[in-house]
Amino acid sequence: MLDNNEHYDLIIIGGGPTGYAGAMRALDFKKKVLLIEKKHIGGAGVYDGVLTSKTLWEISQKISSIREMIPDYEADFDYINKTVKEAIFERKTQMTVHLQLLQTQANNLFHYEKGTAQFIDKHTINITKENGRIKTVSAENILIASGSRPRYLPNIPIDEHIIMTSDGIKNMTELPKSLVVLGAGVIGCEFATIFSNIGKTKVYLIDKAERILPFEDEDVAELISESLEKNGATIHHGSSLKRMEIKNGKVEYELEYKDGRTEIINVDKALVSVGRVPNVEGLGLENAGVKLNERGSIWDNDTQTNISHIYVAGDATTEMALVNVGEREARHAVVRMFGPTIKPLSYENISTIMFLNPEVASVGMSEQDCKKKGIAHKVVKLDFSTNARAIAMRKTKGFFKIIVTNDNGMRILGMRVVGEHASSAIQAVAYLIHTNQGIKELADMMHPHPSIIEGVQECLRMLLGKSIYKPSVFKDKLKCYVCENGTCKPIESLMVN
């Protein structure tokens, strides 16, 4: 049965963090908005993604700290599961109540429909409800924010109970005694960290490269590897998966190493973490003439598809599968529709956090990026063990690293912080990169004490030749070097201001 057509200024397909942010920005312009979500408001960002995994990580960090003081402490799965569900319920309730109140308070501008959206033509969409009723709606502008899902591999029998993706974590009824993680990228390493922190699961990590986190600098990857192995994890470096199958309710997998040897291992569970794919099937994109790119995601130019009034944001583009990026893209797309002319989005200096042990925060270029591009640069590196706050927390594992141009201006190119509260130390430097500024102003500011961000200040002071601890004394904890023409060498003398 068809309902009558309703017309809107903007229809948004997908009620995850991206679509939600786009809808709220459209209300700022007093536009009539319809948000369509087929499952749950909040999408994977709340139910199967960031909120779930980061809640698990926070719990695992607390458990790890307890285990440092009480080695025989055993985590309670029911408590872990209850805490995760509470976090999901809290966020879901916030978002749902907010939408419900908006529907009564937003001058009849905001509307919400639960159902599956499909394009009929460039301006018209059918919404199929759970009861089979079809509602037809249309709009001047449309934003696709349909998100993504974990990638399945055709030769692995993923059932989301024994062999899982991140979507299957919620199906666990107890902590497994052993778990293999396929994929040594961010998500794989995060879950390896979570389960090894808790201490009841023997973790194996399959890494086809020579080191985990191959997109990051070697010193970052090395510290994370050491931490995982110290927590009892086994990393299969330089291995390729020959097969993985379910046998008698457990997992058997076979590896082949670069030297030709093979190994068969049996574990309780497996987690497959090999990327995500965009949710584009069933949208009827062909009916609207919307094109896909070579990766199978929706083609876009600064959030605009090849159809001028249809935009896309978030994981459906696979530009960068991060919640903050999706939200920013959606808000940007809405301003392009209804606001003043704005400059294109830049993806060059996005701050990111990896929830590992220890935490990793990054912004801008890495050392290996600079070397690949042949950019002459200076590097300053400061060990966490010299930071008063880290000492007070008894969390001295980690380092600060700042990369600047090899000139007197020393414009910041990038930064990496590995250690406790790393994310709190990144944004001031991100702002300097964004505004193309040098380091002197931040170095001269009065920072709170004791704080992790004092490590950033001390790095900048080192570059300016006026640090409190001297690199010539603490050579193992403070390092300054310059890299150009393919070689790196210590900086013997630093300028003094």
Residue 252: strand, helix, or coil: strand
Write down all domains in the chain, each with its CATH number in brackets.
2-150+277-338 (3.50.50.60), 163-274 (3.50.50.60), 358-487 (3.30.390.30)
pTM score, whole prediction: 0.91
Candidates 323, 343, 370, 327; CA nearest to 481 is 370
Q: How far apart are CA 149 and CA 49, in angstroms?
A: 9
Q: How far apart are CA 225 and CA 233, in angstroms?
A: 9
Residue 135: strand, helix, or coil: strand
Q: How far apart are CA 245 and CA 268, in angstroms?
A: 12
Q: How many CA atoms lie within 13 A of 148 on its CB side?
A: 29
Residue 152 per-residue DSSP state: P
Q: How far apart are CA 374 and CA 250, in angstroms?
A: 49
Beta strands in 336-443 (DSSP E): 352-354, 360-364, 377-383, 399-405, 412-418
Token pair in block for residue 25 = 């920005």
pLDDT one digit per residue (tens) for the chain, 497 residues:
445 578 999 999 999 999 999 999 999 999 999 999 998 898 888 888 889 999 999 999 999 999 989 999 999 999 999 999 999 999 999 999 999 999 887 678 999 999 999 999 999 999 999 888 999 999 999 999 999 999 999 999 999 999 999 999 999 999 999 999 999 999 999 999 999 999 999 999 999 888 999 989 999 999 999 999 999 999 999 999 999 999 999 999 999 998 899 999 999 999 999 999 999 999 999 999 999 999 899 999 999 999 999 999 999 986 677 889 999 999 999 999 999 999 999 888 888 999 999 999 999 999 999 999 999 999 999 999 999 999 999 999 999 999 999 988 888 999 999 999 998 888 888 888 888 777 887 888 888 899 998 999 999 999 888 888 888 888 889 999 999 988 889 886 554 44
**295 contacts: CB under 8 Å, gap ≥ 6:** 318
Place of tokens 């809640």: 55
Separation of first and last alpha carbons in the chain: 77
Amino acid found at 52: T
Q: How far apart are CA 210 and CA 397, in angstroms?
A: 23
* Bridge partners (DSSP) listed for residue 8: 139
Token pair in block for residue 269 = 């569970």
Q: How far apart are CA 227 and CA 225, in angstroms?
A: 5
